[in-house]
Chain A
Amino acid sequence: MIEFLQQLINGVAQGAIYALIAIGYTMVFGVLRFINFAHGDVYMLGAFAGFYTAPGILKIFGGGPSYAGAAAVLLTAMVICAGIGVLIERICYRPLREHPRLTVLITAIGVSLLLGSGGQYVFGADPKAFPEIIADAAIELPTSWGSFSTLTITIGQVLVVGCTLVLLFVLKTVVLHTKTGLAMRALSLNPTAASLMGVNLDAILSFTFAIGSAMAGAAGVLTSIQQPSIDPLMGVSAGLKAFVAAVLGGIGNIPGAALGGLLIGLLETLVVGYVNPTYRDPLVFAVLILVLLFRPSGLLGKPEREKV
């Protein structure tokens, strides 16, 4: 029983990472109706932004690992990734806005390959050790059940889940309670009508990419706190799984992306812990196929009727 609870904790922490990345997929799909496959690589760039800026930032905050320093590294990586996201939209997707969606989709795959392989060229292909920005330690919760005497939660796990909750709350406020959020929702509902009503399409799209990419950048740093080994291709598998999470929750639906991320994280952990680790990836992608077959609009998405 305790072992199961422990696996649930592990799963929730993993799921929080997927949730953060999935939000970027879902937001871009919401306004532009295409999958930004380069999103997983932005997550990777977030980890590398943290890797390169952390030593300097930690020095400002007194040298050693500290919460203030970690927060500064996290924010820096988010800002850098937001900038990268805006640039990607500006350079690669904006000129293609009037083109068929397939063209943009293929461009996105190209951007993803460019970032991944370019990263191998610039950063080097070998894994790098991410600096220790907080002193990760275990918090032991004593229990009296079964073979485990304690339930262990690491500070890294608490941070990941905590940061994810905070970021989700901020995002919800922005989308539901600001004018920009209103414009985003209007755009997602009907782009033509929205621009006729005076919504600045370019500005809103840049904003959407900035927010989504910042979330991915945060996920990159938060992952690296727990698994301090980063490489330029780390975004590929994480990105694909977050994409599955976004589809599972209902692509275009922000709470759905968070729910999907959580479920995929739990599924992965339970399969690894109780079935067979080699089935992990096949099962995650089987979920994608099953969702597309039986509930294409996802768990929280509303079925969309194509108007003829």
Chain B
Amino acid sequence: MPVNDPSQASAKFMSFFPSLSASVLVSAVMFLPLASAFSSGEIPVGEFTSLTGGSASFGQSSHKGTALAVEEINAAGGVLGKKIRLITEDDQSQAGQPATIVRKLISQDHVVAILGEVASSKTLEAAPICQQNQIPMITPASTNPKVTEVGDHVFRICFIDPFQGTVISKFARARGWNRIAILTDAKQDYSVGLTECFTRDFVARGGEIVREQKYSSGDKDFKAQLTSIKAAQPDAIFVPGYYGEVSLIAKQARLLGIKVPLLGGDGWVGDSLLKVAGKSLDGCFFSAHFSASDKSERVQNFVAKYQAKYGVPPDDMSALGYDSAMILADAIRRAGTTEAAPLRDAIAATKDFSGVTGLITLDEKRNASKPAVILTIENGGFHFVETVTP
């Protein structure tokens, strides 16, 4: 999931303190014999994620999924006869941190691959470093198209924003909604990108955008925008924002007497969405990566194990975190080695991998081609509606 703008802070930081990277290098050299002795019995895999700070809810979920996957792999005997050792570092949701900790994971811990980040802006910080060091990197949930354009060592196992825009537009047309109003978060690349993709596809399918309104992240009063949208009498309203604002928008829309459904993307999935929105989101739809109410055995197994270990049901981010580790393990198995070059090729060759978020195939641009699910909200819970394939 893409969040915020990419930050240049880390690059500046490093150039201000060239001695810092040098000292990291020195310590890396010193520990080299020790580390390689270690790696004979274990396969070190690095994970960077936001366990604290603003996007901690995303980071905690994906980490729990990844950790569960590693536990399962090791319980089944590991890969290539070795156990996977997951080394997790917290980037505190802060710009600048991913670059530092990914350097540390590569040079000190000698990880064979990196798993990480939900927010696209953080992934974009770490990706060039992995590319430079020729270490394969798999992001579980960064949907911004730019992420995998960094280089041939960067992969993702989630769908990208243009696909998500198309999915929602297809769904809206299938429901027979012709007139859509849009309420975009003008401050988020994620929201602006989704609006563009949705609009292009929806108009091409013969629909009409009857009103477009904007807000800024952090706004709390949306009555002016909603009043204007109400006057346009849409069949549905597309709100491609994050859960914090979406919940308030839903609440205020219902108060203003707007009864049509709201539509959204994976940014809706968050702890406080239903706590704040209450019943206002009943009957609304959004696209997501994963549905815990999917009846397939694979998903139900995962849900049961996750629930048993953590006491909460898994969400999108946990499922993606789980799949990212599973795909990596599968690639190591197929490559027969943890050497960077064959491992990279094995990840790139991932085809029809059956994960808990669906059948995953990596295309030539290292993006996952996989289905999205449409969920609806009813009685304070998410319910599966349908799967949309690319």
By a beta-carbon cutoff of 8 Å, the part of chain A in contact with chain B is 2-3, 6-7, 10-11, 13-14, 125-129, 132, 136-138, 140, 147-148, 150, 152, 154, 156, 223, 226-229, 234, 237, 268-270, 272-274, 276-278, 281
B116 at the interface (CB under 8 A from A): no
Select from chain A the residue with minimum beta-carbon distance to B55: A126
Q: B214 near A152 (CB under 8 angstroms)?
A: no
A29 to chain B, nearest CB (A): 27
* Residue among B213, B223, B252, B257 with most chain A CB within 10 A: B223
A235 to chain B, nearest CB (A): 12
The 9 closest A-B pairs by CB, nearest first: A272-B224, A273-B224, A227-B220, A10-B223, A129-B275, A3-B231, A129-B276, A269-B224, A277-B214
Select from chain A the residue with minimum beta-carbon distance to B214: A277
* Residue among B53, B224, B252, B278 with most chain A CB within 10 A: B224
B7 at the interface (CB under 8 A from A): no
Can you report 24 A-B residue pairs in the complex whose CB atoms are below 8 A from each other? A2-B231, A3-B227, A6-B230, A7-B227, A10-B223, A10-B227, A14-B223, A126-B54, A127-B276, A129-B275, A132-B278, A136-B255, A138-B254, A140-B257, A148-B231, A152-B256, A154-B255, A227-B248, A229-B247, A229-B272, A272-B225, A273-B227, A277-B213, A277-B214
A90 to chain B, nearest CB (A): 32
Per the bound structure, the CA–CA distance linking A26 and B12 in Å amounts to: 44
Q: A148 near B244 (CB under 8 angstroms)?
A: no
CB-contact partner of A229 in B53, B57, B276, under 8 A: B276
By a beta-carbon cutoff of 8 Å, the part of chain B in contact with chain A is 53-54, 56-57, 186, 213-216, 218-221, 223-225, 227-228, 230-231, 233, 244, 247-248, 251-252, 254-257, 272, 275-276, 278
B90 to chain A, nearest CB (A): 15
Q: A3 near B221 (CB under 8 angstroms)?
A: no
Q: A152 near B255 (CB under 8 angstroms)?
A: yes
Q: Which residues of B contact A156 (CB under 8 A)?
A: 255
B86 to chain A, nearest CB (A): 26
Per the bound structure, the CA–CA distance linking A234 and B224 in Å amounts to: 19
Per the bound structure, the CA–CA distance linking A276 and B221 in Å amounts to: 15
Q: Which residues of A contact B244 (CB under 8 A)?
A: 127, 229
Q: Which residues of A contact B231 (CB under 8 A)?
A: 2-3, 147-148
CB-contact partner of A129 in B224, B225, B228, B272, under 8 A: B272
CB-contact partner of A10 in B213, B224, B248, under 8 A: B224
B57 to chain A, nearest CB (A): 8
B276 to chain A, nearest CB (A): 4
Select from chain B the residue with minimum beta-carbon distance to A130: B276
Q: Which residues of A contact B221 (CB under 8 A)?
A: 10, 14, 226-227
6 further A-B contacts with Cβ under 8 Å, apart from A6-B230, A140-B257, A228-B276, are: A3-B230, A126-B272, A129-B276, A137-B255, A269-B223, A277-B214
Per the bound structure, the CA–CA distance linking A278 and B217 in Å amounts to: 11
Q: Which residues of B contact A274 (CB under 8 A)?
A: 228
Contacts known (A3-B227, A136-B255); A277 close to B216, Cβ less than 8 A: yes
Select from chain A the residue with minimum beta-carbon distance to B215: A277
B181 to chain A, nearest CB (A): 13
Q: Which residues of B contact A150 (CB under 8 A)?
A: 257
Q: B225 near A138 (CB under 8 angstroms)?
A: no
Per the bound structure, the CA–CA distance linking A223 and B221 in Å amounts to: 9
Select from chain B the residue with minimum beta-carbon distance to A2: B231
Q: B53 near A276 (CB under 8 angstroms)?
A: no
Q: A234 near B220 (CB under 8 angstroms)?
A: yes
Q: Which residues of A contact B257 (CB under 8 A)?
A: 138, 140, 150, 152
Q: Which residues of A contact B214 (CB under 8 A)?
A: 276-278
Q: B186 near A6 (CB under 8 angstroms)?
A: no
B48 to chain A, nearest CB (A): 20
Contacts known (A125-B53, A147-B233); A229 close to B248, Cβ less than 8 A: yes
Q: A3 near B272 (CB under 8 angstroms)?
A: no
B306 to chain A, nearest CB (A): 23
Per the bound structure, the CA–CA distance linking A137 and B278 in Å amounts to: 13
Select from chain A the residue with minimum beta-carbon distance to B183: A277
Q: Which residues of B contact A132 (CB under 8 A)?
A: 278
Q: Which residues of A contact B213 (CB under 8 A)?
A: 277
Q: Which residues of A contact B247 (CB under 8 A)?
A: 229
Q: Which residues of A contact B272 (CB under 8 A)?
A: 126-129, 229
Q: Which residues of A contact B228 (CB under 8 A)?
A: 3, 7, 273-274
Select from chain B the residue with minimum beta-carbon distance to A5: B227
Q: Which residues of B contact A228 (CB under 8 A)?
A: 248, 251, 276
Q: A7 near B233 (CB under 8 angstroms)?
A: no
Q: A138 near B255 (CB under 8 angstroms)?
A: yes
Per the bound structure, the CA–CA distance linking A272 and B213 in Å amounts to: 9
Q: Which residues of A contact B53 (CB under 8 A)?
A: 125
Per the bound structure, the CA–CA distance linking A129 and B250 in Å amounts to: 14
Per the bound structure, the CA–CA distance linking A140 and B258 in Å amounts to: 12
Q: Which residues of A contact B220 (CB under 8 A)?
A: 223, 227, 229, 234
B76 to chain A, nearest CB (A): 37
Q: Which residues of A contact B255 (CB under 8 A)?
A: 136-138, 152, 154, 156
Per the bound structure, the CA–CA distance linking A127 and B246 in Å amounts to: 13
Per the bound structure, the CA–CA distance linking A137 and B280 in Å amounts to: 12
Select from chain B the residue with minimum beta-carbon distance to A269: B224
A6 to chain B, nearest CB (A): 5
Per the bound structure, the CA–CA distance linking A78 and B286 in Å amounts to: 40
Contacts known (A137-B255, A140-B257, A269-B223); A148 close to B230, Cβ less than 8 A: yes
B194 to chain A, nearest CB (A): 17
Q: Which residues of A contact B248 (CB under 8 A)?
A: 227-229
Per the bound structure, the CA–CA distance linking A147 and B231 in Å amounts to: 6
B123 to chain A, nearest CB (A): 22
* Residue among A6, A137, A269, A276 with most chain B CB within 10 A: A6
B372 to chain A, nearest CB (A): 27
Q: Which residues of B contact A234 (CB under 8 A)?
A: 220
Select from chain B the residue with minimum beta-carbon distance to A228: B276
Per the bound structure, the CA–CA distance linking A274 and B227 in Å amounts to: 10
Per the bound structure, the CA–CA distance linking A150 and B230 in Å amounts to: 11
B316 to chain A, nearest CB (A): 18
B328 to chain A, nearest CB (A): 31
Per the bound structure, the CA–CA distance linking A71 and B156 in Å amounts to: 52
A44 to chain B, nearest CB (A): 12
Per the bound structure, the CA–CA distance linking A148 and B232 in Å amounts to: 9
Q: B276 near A6 (CB under 8 angstroms)?
A: no
Per the bound structure, the CA–CA distance linking A227 and B186 in Å amounts to: 20
